[in-house]
Amino acid sequence: MAGLVATSLTAAGASADPPEQIVNGTFDSGHAPWWGTSNIALDSSGGQLCADIPGGTVNPWDVIIGQDNVPLVAGETYQYSFKASATPDKVGKALIQLPVDPWTQFLAANPLMTGTATVYSYTFTAPVSLPNAQVAFQIGGSASPWRICLDDISLKGGAAPEVYQPDTGPRVRVNQVGYLTKGPKGATVVTEATGALPWQLKNSGGTVVASGSTTPRGVDASSGQNVQSIDFSSYAVAGTGYTLVADGETSRPFDLAGDLYAGLRDDALKFFYPQRSGIAISDALRPGYGRAAGHVGVAPNTGDVSVPCQPGVCDYRLDVSGGWYDAGDHGKYVVNGGISVFQLLNEFERGKYAASGQAPFTDGQLNTPESGNGVPDILDEARWEMEFLLKMQVPAGNPLAGMAHHKIHDSEWTGLPLLPDRDDKLRELHPPSTAATLNLAATAAQAARVYASYDPAFAARSLAAARTAYAAALAHPAIYASTSDGTGGGTYDDVNVTDEFYWAAAELFLTTGENQYRDAVTASPLHTSDIWSAGGFGWQGVAALGRIDLATLPSALPNRAAVRASVVAGADKYLADGVAHPYGVPYAPANNSYDWGSNSGIVNNMIVLAAAYDISGQRKYAEGVARGMDYIMGRNALNMSYVTGYGEVNSRNQHSRWYAHSLNPDLPNPPKGTLSGGPNSSIQDPVAQQKLAGCTGQFCYIDSIDSWSTNELTINWNAPLAWIASFLAGQGDGAAPAAAKCKVTYTKYTQWGDGFNAQVTLKNTGTTSVNGWTLRWSFLGGQSIKSSWDAGFAQSGAQVSASNLAYNKVIAPGQTVTFGFVGNPATGANPNPALFTLNGAACS
């Protein structure tokens, strides 16, 4: 390539034909200076460059055809084209990149090559001047051999800059799944008009069923669009295929129904089974997603049944098999796993105190290998991760015993696509951290009470691990994950762990009732401070998890009313953000800078709104949740649903090594119910930087598998999605629930070592007689009924059912029945139940 000089056509003028930057791209006389990796032989005897690609390679870069010393000029826009064929069909990677680590990609394309020679053409603008860029075709990673042929490879400057314009479809933006029949219904119109516009709601037959005028909202800062809003909440007739018409545009179709979100709840939870490590995924349970077990010590895997530490960290090995793969890679992280497993267990626990959270989780619901074991599937799924978290604890007798290793992942980055069982990189345990240790303490304490009525031995093991972890964290309160430990996996660094201490103390107090943990909670500055950040809570900020649990789960916490009020106050902030936003989203980040995983921040803000509804009973908070879901499901600037398989246009190419259909047609897209991370103003990946430079807020997103900064999938994004879908599924058709027609007084008279005595008085506060009754409640932990009087008792897990006997079947208005029982308090706290339902309806 010596003697070839890059020239800026902008400076030199574009009248002449732009100079060719590629040497010998037509292969008319051999193929020098093209090169290939040592595992292929290049053949240009037929006037094109061909090679037989071996099977059995792992990463795309295991086989490369390339040319070095290609000059680029900063700011110049280039057109890159080539002719390619493949037998059989294959997806390859066409790259123009930095020739050394970190291999920064200036152009990355994934052409699907077939048996017919096809011309592929791309444009890109060079961000830097470089005398020695590399053109590379990465074509490894195939299990079976194949053949590639290339010809007419060309790179020329002077191309017109390609301006990425997302296809946003009709300018009327709606929730593409639908709206609760009697719930709030809002839409947004993108328009140049500044005055109010007429709108029409049409049913599936095209008949206008409602109409009105829009409300001008001006320029939306989060999108840069001039917008107006539509409120059609007053129309409440269930149906399918509705559309909104305004300003000459017709929205995408949507439904009005009362059963919109139960399917999403289940699908969002079913996401976790195919994320499992250490087990084969059954195609019978997840058609199209079956695969071999990953990281079970079978070659080429090197983990995870006996994993060493990074050099110098420890001298032991641990079995850390199992758990969930964190995201689109094969790493497993305690801090991300912690918040994820917590939110699944918290979703289940909500049924113990929330009238709209009753009994949505059953055995067999999620089609997992454990279905049929008598335990709700959501608990089986969460336990798969919890068992992994317990394995990450440093064993007794070793330095830092009781702490938790921060993470385990490959020693090097791997490429896409790559099934877990084909990962051949060394797996390593990374140093323990205080943050990881406190995540273990919090989740293990939570697990101890949740599983106590299903598996007392596991509950006891979890509580012991939680106590040990908390004590270890107190002894080592400032061991932080390194910000530079990011080779082969994310750093997940966090240098402020006051929130983790608060959360762990809260969970230990709720489970045990012990004064040492209560005192740690009340002494924390986070117990009374404003913890409700605009961007939402997440793995790096978990104080909200402790605060919400303290506010909603029963306990003897001093001044608990103030804690409950603080959650409502936080929800008021998010509710105001949603009302002020033209797209109705409860998210107002500083400087309109959308965070990495902004969608998870939005959904977590919705959890605060949901908690406020559970505490106060005020419908405005539940309606705020519903409006927030409108944004996730399509009422946004891009007019797309961020949940795979939901809505007419939805994210389906999230960054993943095995849900990689766009890179390998033999692999699937992510499962239905997968949430994309969403807009990220920092656009850290090359694809986003190339396509989205200068983007505004909501437009900082692209549905590309290579856009790991805007389009990732993760366990800690699907966990809150499942939580919120469950909440909305419990809202029925969106109407306010009927007033309570019963009142319960629950009194514990005495408690001793292995027993307690309780009396329950049930009053009919309605206007008609109750003729036959069943009163239900749930204990917080492992409490159980030993004997009883004046009612028939049954217990399943923590849930108790007390039913009438023949002589107290009828309760007249204003009258009461009283019954009682002797219970086993198990171990730990034994607070009064937080919710009673009479024949399925909540009592006051």
Catalytic (active-site) positions: 329, 655, 703, 712
Q: Does the CA dihedral 61-66-71-77 come out positive or negative? A: negative
Coil vs helix vs strand at 465 = helix
Q: 333 is written with which tokens? A: 């992280």
User: How far apart (Å, rounded) are the C-alpha atoms in residues 345 and 272?
Assistant: 13
CB 282 within 8 A of CB 351: no
Q: 669 is written with which tokens? A: 């897209």
As to burial, measured by CB atoms within 10 angstroms (0-12 exposed, 13-18 middle, 19+ buried), residue 738 is exposed
Q: 217 is written with which tokens? A: 């909202």
Instruction: Single out the residue of 482, 469, 517 nearest to residue 312, CA to CA.
Output: 482
Q: Which helix (H) or strand (E) holds 200?
A: strand 198-202
Provide the b/e sequence for 313-345 (b: ≥16 CB within 10 Å). Answer: bbeeebebbbbbbbbbbbbbbbbbbbbbbbbbb
DSSP 539-598: TTB-HHHHHHHHHHS----TTHHHHHHHHHHHHHHHHHHHHHSTT--S---GGG-PPTTH
Around 782, how many Cα atoms within 13 Å sit in the side-chain half-sphere? 21
Q: What are phi and psi of 463, to 5 degrees?
A: -65, -40
Kindly list the distances between the CA atom of residue 382 and the CA atoms of 73, 270, 289, 293, 377, in Å, as whole numbers in the listed order.
52, 11, 20, 19, 9
User: How far apart (Å, rounded) are the C-alpha atoms in residues 675 and 678?
Assistant: 8
Q: Which residues contact 289 (CB under 8 A, 6 or more apart)?
A: 274, 281, 283, 668, 671
Task: Centre a 10 Å sphere on the Cβ of residue 353 and count the other Cβ atoms it contains.
Answer: 19
